[in-house]
Chains A and B, each alone.
Chain A
Amino acid sequence: MNLLETLSHTVPATGMFANAWWMIAAPLLVAAFLLLAGRVADAWGHFVAVAAVVFSFSIAACLFGEMLGRGAEERAVESTLYTWFSVGTWTFDVGLQIDQLSILFAMLITGVGSLIHIYSIGYMAHDERRRRFFAYLNLFVAAMLTLVLANNYLILFVGWEGVGLASYLLISFFQHKKSAADAGVKAFVMNRVGDFGMLLAIFTMLAMFGSSKFSVVNAGVPEMPAIWATLLGVFLLLGACGKSAQVPLQAWLLDAMEGPTPVSALIHAATMVTAGVYLVVRSHVVYEHSMIAQTAVVVVGTVTLLAGAWIGTSQDDIKKVLAGSTMSQIGYMMLAAGIGPAGYAFAIFHLLTHGFFKANMFLGAGSVMHGMHDDVNMRNYGALAKVMRYTYWTFFCGYIAIIGFPLTAGYFSKDHIIEAAFHYNVVIGLCALIGAGVTAFYMTRLMFMTFWGKQRWQPGVHPHESPKVMTLPLVVLAALSIVAGALMNWWIQTWLEPAAGNHPHEVSLIPTPIGLLAIAVVAAGVATGWYFFGRGDIPKVAPASKNPFTLVGRNVLYGDQLNDAVIVQPTYALAAASDATDRHAIDGLFDGLAHGFGGLSTQVRKLQTGYARSYALTMTAGVVVTAVVLILAHLA
């Protein structure tokens, strides 16, 4: 079936699909309710929040089930809710598009979201601003669902900004800490750069096609000039980079770990940061018509996957290691999305499995912190496997999933990407392969420093297992981390074919040569990790290192310094120059004028002495002069 025909072919919403908007409305209403209800809802508000997300999840599941029952041609459903506004000949509708791609996202968001909500009940139990926290979480879920369910880029952008807002609010949730407040601002500002790209992309679409609907844009792209297709792709990529913390807009993600751990798990690992991948896959038609934009996506993805892995190797903060890992994994997805039709399904596949195992590990890290008095430094951990059995085993499931242990989730999804990368370009494939090895290395390091080895606990810290409400979601996610790959391996390509395009890649259980190579590289990474961190004691303070590799990694690739030097300082300089120009040149001109008149007035003012006799003299002289002038004029 022709790709374009498939995409423009949607059926009207009927039955269950007509009620799809409740998925968004429920968490949104609950968020508003919790924020407005005040302290009345302090005691039970979080249960309402959990109920709202579970409700959304049940709707998503029902829709998914109904979709499964339909034929492939009737699965994509589009419904227009109402007209937002119309300007001139442009009409902007609020509409939902529920197709194979977005329903997977909706399931991921609401499913993982529900688990994280439940987990948060335990994690935030002692926080006095818990109600507000759940309100923000619900706001995030509503915005994220808007993002993935929208049927045009404008509504997508509304959700895009909504998740940005929720992200900002949640990163700086511990607003009394300056670092948290700064991190929120940083994330917000860097996301603005990406939003700028999004806006430009939407403007381009409106100018080119008069509409930002997916169907219209997809139909119009093949006819548009190549240069505009490239620009559109680059604009969208800029937006994706901002939201997904891809190089060069990656610097905010590690600071975003200042937020509560469930937030890191939900927003900065499983869902929001993957919005960029969603955007690229959703706009795949654009990239298919622009070689340059497509290559840019691949390059960005490859660079980011290496950069994230690099950062992961040298951080001591458990959450920052996971954040670096997240960057790296999203780099994989970007790479896959950039490869073309061969990679779309794998990008989404990896996105889903990553959502499970990374959320699992973040929540596990949260559980560890919970038992370690909110200490995040892995050098103060060690030998936690014995005291936190549930946390350890679930985390271990995540660990083997992310490094790609055969038959776990990561094995399927990542191997496909590496393989596709090799088919695309050998250099890119090698990079992806190296990334897999480094991933194995830093995750092994994390495991040794946290769960294995000798205990290096701070005095007075007594690690203990977290309550059931926290471990239950961990168990569910751990199970998914193991089996999700095998469940979806054969199914997802066919499922996504109408939405993301068909691809020629066949999968089988028997590893290809490249798959075997990947397993070998991973094993080497694990061995290296054991060699450095598994044999001896781990010092309590990071040893001073002159190794530039380590230094760069510890300093997060000098991203902040680079931004400061390239963007911030020149901006300051420009502002200072503008200020100086305004203050001295422009103000100086007018001030000088004013001073001139002031000086003149000071001189003229001396005529006003207060002496009536002087005034009489002036009047007399004035009369004489005026009369003389008049007479002379008359005579002339």
Chain B
Amino acid sequence: MIPALIPMVTGASLTFWICAPLAVLGALGLVLFRKAVYSALSMAFVMLNLAVLYGTMDAPFLVFVQIIVYTGAIMMLFLFVLMLVGIDTPDSVIETLRGQRWLAALAALGTVGLLFFGIGGSVRSGPFAGLTEANAIGNVEGIASLVFGRYVFIFELTSALLITAALAAMVLAHRTRVTEKIGQRLQAAQRMRDYAETGAHPGPLPASGVFAGHNSIAVPALLPDGSVAESSVSRTLVLRGAALDPEDLRSMTADRFAAIEGVKEEEGDE
């Protein structure tokens, strides 16, 4: 009962007319979004739409492969790499290659025309065969019998290809260490040397401050003389403007202490 797994089969034409514009919109988004993350999400959207279309065409196996392998694995791999290389750099809108846009548009027009013309000239206008017969023993089983039957040699070749690709990725990702690895011992020695030469503090940085009502890492600590210890707050937070002003906190703390003192006095009075 494989077709029963796909409830959309019945409204195939309707589904197509819903999914096809969405897929085209997604594809346009892929090309037009300036931020790569949006492009990636558009791509995932296109793939999901295509999966739905596969469903309408009696290909349930491909629906899942499309979603799990393509959208799930490959697109996530893309996102991982996007995160690694930084997502903050949008493409410039200025085209650096002279005439590239116009020529590309022209070539795209030509390609579309060619494809449409080719399709128009080659599509057989006979009755639509459908896969009912082919899927009689089940779609997955049908595909399996082909993959492990007629196409078994190609299948084995693809396995070799995948292994090679995995090896290649490892080779490319491997980085040869050109300097000695700095261990704990070396690091300690380096710290002491820096202290001797420049007077840099060898110990850990001061912890962030603790005030009444505030103890987050955005709160700078105070030194014994009452001045602010700059190194107690992460520079990132300072640059982001998230660090709090110690003066405000100090006055607030003083008020709190004063209130507590007042309570104590009242109690003493009693």
Contacts of A627 in B (CB 8 A): 114, 118
Stretch at the interface among A76-84, A141-149, A615-623: A615-623
B111 touches A617 (CB 8 A): no
Give residues of chain B (204-231) contacting chain A, Cβ–Cβ below 8 Å. Answer: none
Give the secondary structure class of A's interface: helix
Kindly list 6 other residue pairs between chains A and B, CB separation below 8 angstroms, not including A621-B106, A621-B107.
Answer: A609-B97, A614-B100, A620-B111, A624-B114, A627-B118, A631-B117
Give residues of chain B (99-129) contacting chain A, Cβ–Cβ below 8 Å. Answer: 100, 103-104, 106-108, 110-111, 114, 117-118, 121
Contacts of B100 in A (CB 8 A): 613-614, 617
B103 touches A621 (CB 8 A): yes
Q: How many residues of A contact B (CB 8 A)?
A: 12
Contacts of A631 in B (CB 8 A): 117-118, 121
B114 touches A617 (CB 8 A): no
B97 touches A621 (CB 8 A): no
**Bound-complex Cα distance A614 to B100 (A):** 7
B104 touches A624 (CB 8 A): no
**Interchain CB contact (< 8 A) of A621 among B110, B117, B118, B121:** B110
Contacts of B106 in A (CB 8 A): 621
**Bound-complex Cα distance A613 to B117 (A):** 26
Given contacts A611-B97, A613-B97, contact A624 B110 (CB under 8 A): yes
CB proximity of A241 to chain B, nearest CB, Å: 79
**Bound-complex Cα distance A130 to B90 (A):** 93
- Rank and list the top 9 A-B pairs by shortest CB-CB distance, nearest first: A624-B110, A620-B107, A621-B107, A627-B114, A624-B114, A617-B104, A617-B103, A624-B111, A617-B107
Question: Is A628 an interface position by the 8 A CB rule?
Answer: yes
Contact digits for B42-71, partner A, Cβ 8 Å, 1 yes 0 no: 000000000000000000000000000000
Contacts of A611 in B (CB 8 A): 97
User: What class of interface size applies to chain B in its complex with A?
Assistant: 10 to 19
**Bound-complex Cα distance A609 to B96 (A):** 12
**Bound-complex Cα distance A631 to B97 (A):** 31
Contacts of B110 in A (CB 8 A): 620-621, 624, 628
CB proximity of A603 to chain B, nearest CB, Å: 16
Give the secondary structure class of B's interface: helix
Contacts of A609 in B (CB 8 A): 97
CB proximity of B119 to chain A, nearest CB, Å: 12
Contacts of A620 in B (CB 8 A): 104, 107-108, 110-111
Contacts of A628 in B (CB 8 A): 110, 114
Contacts of A617 in B (CB 8 A): 100, 103-104, 107
**Bound-complex Cα distance A497 to B118 (A):** 110
A-B contact pairs, 30 of them (CB 8 A): A609-B97, A611-B97, A613-B97, A613-B100, A614-B97, A614-B100, A617-B100, A617-B103, A617-B104, A617-B107, A620-B104, A620-B108, A620-B110, A620-B111, A621-B103, A621-B106, A621-B110, A623-B111, A623-B114, A624-B107, A624-B110, A624-B111, A624-B114, A627-B114, A627-B118, A628-B110, A628-B114, A631-B117, A631-B118, A631-B121
CB proximity of A95 to chain B, nearest CB, Å: 83
Closest residue on chain B to residue A614 by CB atoms = B97
Give residues of chain A (581-636) contacting chain B, Cβ–Cβ below 8 Å. Answer: 609, 611, 613-614, 617, 620-621, 623-624, 627-628, 631
Closest residue on chain B to residue A625 by CB atoms = B110
CB proximity of B99 to chain A, nearest CB, Å: 9
**Bound-complex Cα distance A558 to B100 (A):** 80
**Bound-complex Cα distance A335 to B157 (A):** 101
**Bound-complex Cα distance A611 to B95 (A):** 13
**Bound-complex Cα distance A621 to B107 (A):** 5
Contacts of B108 in A (CB 8 A): 620
CB proximity of A615 to chain B, nearest CB, Å: 11
**Bound-complex Cα distance A631 to B117 (A):** 10
Contacts of B121 in A (CB 8 A): 631
Closest residue on chain B to residue A635 by CB atoms = B121
**Bound-complex Cα distance A557 to B111 (A):** 91
Closest residue on chain A to residue B113 by CB atoms = A624
**Bound-complex Cα distance A621 to B109 (A):** 10
Closest residue on chain B to residue A628 by CB atoms = B114
**Bound-complex Cα distance A623 to B113 (A):** 12
Closest residue on chain B to residue A627 by CB atoms = B114
Contacts of B97 in A (CB 8 A): 609, 611, 613-614
**Bound-complex Cα distance A613 to B110 (A):** 17
**Bound-complex Cα distance A541 to B184 (A):** 104
**Bound-complex Cα distance A411 to B117 (A):** 118
CB proximity of A583 to chain B, nearest CB, Å: 42
Give residues of chain A (30-67) contacting chain B, Cβ–Cβ below 8 Å. Answer: none
